[in-house]
Amino acid sequence: MSSLSIPNGACALPDRVTAPGPIVVGTPGDEGDAALETVRRLVAYDGRAVSVVSALELPTLDVSVAGVPYVPDVEEYAAARRERVARQLRAAGEVPNTWPVTVSGDDPAHAIADAARAASASLIVVGAGHHDVTARLFGEVAVRVARHAPCPVLAIAREPMRVPPHVAVAAIDFSASSVIAARAARDLLAPGGTLHLVHVWRRHAVDTPAHAEQDAAYERALPERFARVERELLDHPRDIAIVPASLQGDPVERLTAFAWSHVADVMAAGRQGHTLLERLFVGRVTTGLLRAAPCALLVTPEPALGAADLVASNA
């Protein structure tokens, strides 16, 4: 299992035995990117290496001049993109030569994930963007990066993430994947920070006596289920507060509203869904959070089969 590790209270998946790998940051080359500023803060905090990947989206116009099909000049587009990224790095306070930049003609999501895999990266940072059409399109790239990534993905929304964060919200459904995400959120926090474990569920739509009893039994079982997750998180004691919360309604709406109201610096969710279809599309809730989260969102890969069994038995 890939690990995300930042010393002294920053982000780490459990049981890391090797030094953390580099950060791979994916960027469309726009000015003022909050993702790059977040990476700058992470590097200032722990000194990891960084590489930048920017994927070209070449024009696909079906036109010709004097019967000769138009073929875009890839090198021209690549040079322009490198200059845009260089300006972006300078704006973020980085010297462009410090962070190597790769301009790829591949699909952006695959280019970023492949670069992370080749570098044995510990973290991918991408912009989740919500402001304009370009930002929203790159936000969809963040969804696809999370689907293919070999390591945790930190998607940055409107503002750079505070490093280290003080308030984290972990989406908990008591699956092994969600416990892994909660661990990552735990280790991301600064000393004295707060980790909210938030479980969102729905009562039966039809209020029959049988359904009412099932809902009541489910609700009665929640304190013990939360307690098991808390015990799992306390296997590596940290100077943080762990606060469970049970909410009812639409998971994405309730989780994002909770993060807003608690001024969260970061949310955390596991990549794996309950069904094959959800796993193929990152998971409905995780995908919804990538598109709507009011703060940074950390998406962790599903655990290896053996680790999944161990976490599931403990949580």
**Model confidence, pTM:** 0.81
CB atoms within 10 A of CB 207: 9
The answer to whether 23-156 and 167-266+302-314 have equal CATH topology is yes
User: What's the pLDDT score for residue 135?
Assistant: 44
User: What's the pLDDT score for residue 262?
Assistant: 98
Q: Which fold has domain 167-266+302-314?
A: Rossmann fold (3.40.50)
User: What's the pLDDT score for residue 77?
Assistant: 78
∠ CA 231-235-236, rounded to 5°: 135
Task: Specify the DSSP class assigned to residue 131.
Answer: S
Nearest alpha carbon to residue 252 among 282, 278, 288, 287: 288
User: What's the pLDDT score for residue 168?
Assistant: 98
User: What's the pLDDT score for residue 192?
Assistant: 95
State how far the Cα of 217 lies from the Cα of 232, in Å rounded to an integer: 23
User: What's the pLDDT score for residue 313?
Assistant: 52
User: What's the pLDDT score for residue 134?
Assistant: 45
- List of the chain residues with pLDDT < 50: 1-19, 31, 131-138, 273-282, 310-312, 315
User: What's the pLDDT score for residue 137?
Assistant: 46
- Contact (Cβ atoms closer than 8 angstroms) between residue 246 and residue 222: yes
CB crowding 127-158: b at 16 or more within 10 Å, else e? bbbeeeeebeebbbbbbbbbbbbbbbbbbbbe
Q: What is the CA radius of gyration of the chain?
A: 21
CB atoms within 10 A of CB 8: 9
Q: What are phi and psi of 41, to 5 degrees?
A: -65, -40
Q: What are the domain boundaries of the chain? A: 23-156, 167-266+302-314
User: What's the pLDDT score for residue 144?
Assistant: 86
Nearest alpha carbon to residue 9 among 168, 164, 162: 164
Q: What are phi and psi of 236, to 5 degrees?
A: -125, 90
Instruction: Specify the CATH class of 23-156 in words.
Output: alpha beta
State how far the Cα of 132 lies from the Cα of 292, in Å rounded to an integer: 14
By residue count, the chain amounts to 315
